[in-house]
Structure 1
Amino acid sequence: MSIELWTWNTPNGRKISVALEEMGLPYTVKTVNISKDEQFNPEFLAFSPNNRIPAIKDPSGPDGQPITVFESGAILLYLAEKTGKFLPKSLRDRVPVYEWLMWQMGGFGPMPGQVHHFLMQPEGPARDYGFGRYHKETVRLYGVLDRRLEGRDFVATTGEPSVADFAILGWAWRHERHQVDLATVPNVKRWYETMMARPATQRGFEVALS
């Protein structure tokens, strides 16, 4: 049976469609149009209480019983555990994946998200201050990622990507909106182009969500 992916065309939503494609899991899409406040519908709130996309319903969860999962980081870890893919077996090797997944969830998401917000505000001192503050931090985070990727193919693992790559890619996908030129972070640019060339990743970004 297919997993239901409740989502929209956002960086966090794309993380999960990419992961599902990369893991080869069957799924169906349930669009949640956040521009129309559909994330507040009681049906969605029943299993995504923070009224944020994405969330999933898996009819074949642990022990064969249905399960719902909200929060994109938790979904990625759940899918990795379910399939045994894109998450190393040993705890030592998992730690960098956990670190960089949390780095994305705590910083490389909230900060560029604020850049998105302030760019949409009317011109004026408040917009300039907010954009300047969050853009500076977003640029810093791109620099952190660039240093991490020096001499590395993937963010937290060797040989193949991990769920941390999928999480970070969802936000790097919006680098133009962040007003960050990837030419200024060449290691990120190389990694980004490598990831976006993967056929399954391409399918994840092509899923019709809006």
Structure 2
Amino acid sequence: MSDLSAFAITRKWPARDPQRLQLYSLTTPNGVKIPIMLEEIGLPYEAHRVNFETNDQQSAEFLSLNPNNKIPAIIDPDGPGGKPLPLFESGAILIYLAEKTGQLLSQDPAERYQTIQWLMFQIGGIGPMFGQLGFFHKFAGKDYEDKRPRDRYVAECRRLLDVLDGQLEDRDWIMGAQYSIADIATFPWVRNLIGFYEAGELVEFERFANVKRVLENFLARPAVIRGLEIPKAP
């Protein structure tokens, strides 16, 4: 029987079943990566909503798990050696879950590292750049008369979409025929760019036919449909 009482975060978000993986997240592009992954691999888990409106991410309990105050984060009660493992950063969590279950990350060394390469492409490029464009296009950036910062991110987002579009030419998924953690990391951000950020016309999204095609296939997956709604709003 796992005991998670040593983790301060469980005082704010009690574990109903401490045998299950505990997920702390919200339905942002980074936040949905892990519930989508968990739905894909079928690993039992409990989802806890970290509410930004009440600054849950700044609470002492959440900071005890992730001092960087970002979602998602997890506690796996059955970590390496059978001991609980706390973990934050979506890319690290995706790799961990893939290796734990032997799913969605190739066992072939070359393909494994190429998959991680595209995961890093999302983490280092697509996520930060799409997020900056969202700021300057939809949020406080509108207060700036000088549009050069926004246009810089528009150009970079187009460039990244062009790179992704080229990779997807004649491919079902980023790595080819096999769906992987690279897709789970990438396509929530593409969805957010043209959806929540309302930047599809700005980046000329219709130009990127391969990205559009694979995004549609991604959003049709049952595990993705479920994962995009987790943690559910109260």
Give the TM interval when normalised to the shorter protein.
over 0.9
Give the partner amino acid of 2:209: P
**Map of 1:140 onto structure 2:** 159
SS in 2 for 1:30: strand
> Which residues in structure 2 correspond to 1:135-174 (within 5 Å)?
135-156=154-175, 158-174=176-192
Deviation at 1:111, TM superposition (A): 0.4
* Secondary structure of the corresponding residue to residue 125 of structure 1: coil
Mapping for residues 1-210 of structure 1, pairs under 5 Å? 1-119=19-137, 120-121=139-140, 122-126=142-146, 128-156=147-175, 158-176=176-194, 177=197, 179-180=199-200, 181-210=204-233
Contact 1:138 1:178 in 2 (8 A): no
**What is the Cα-based RMSD across aligned positions, in Å?**
1.4
Q: Distance in 2 between matches of 1:204 and 1:169?
A: 13
Contact in 1 for aligned 2:187/2:215 (Cα 8 Å): yes
Q: What is the alpha-carbon distance in structure 1 between the residues aligned to residue 231 and residue 74 of structure 2?
A: 17
**Taking CA–CA contacts closer than 8 Å with sequence separation of 6 or more, which of the two structures ends up with the larger relative contact order?**
1
Greater displacement, 30-39 / 138-147: 30-39
Q: Secondary structure of the residue that 1:108 maps to in structure 2?
A: helix
TM-score, normalised to structure 1, is 0.94
Aligned pairs, how many? 208
Gaps in structure 1 of 5+ consecutive residues:
none
Q: What's the % identity of the aligned pairs?
A: 43
Structure 2 length-normalised TM: 0.84
Question: What is the SS of the residue equivalent to 2:104?
Answer: coil
**Letter aligned with residue 192 of structure 1:** L
Partner of 1:6: helix, strand, or coil? Answer: strand
Cα distance in 1 for partners of 2:229, 2:43 equals: 16
Q: Between Structure 1 and Structure 2, whose CA radius of gyration is higher?
A: 2
Unaligned ranges ≥5, structure 2: 1-18
SS in 2 for 1:13: coil
User: In 2, Cα distance between the equivalents of 1:39 and 1:73?
Assistant: 19
Which SS does the other structure have where 1:69 is aligned?
strand
> Displacement of 1:178 after TM fit?
5.5
Q: Is the 8 A contact 1:115 1:178 kept in 2?
A: no
SS at match of 1:107: helix
Q: CA deviation at 1:125?
A: 2.2
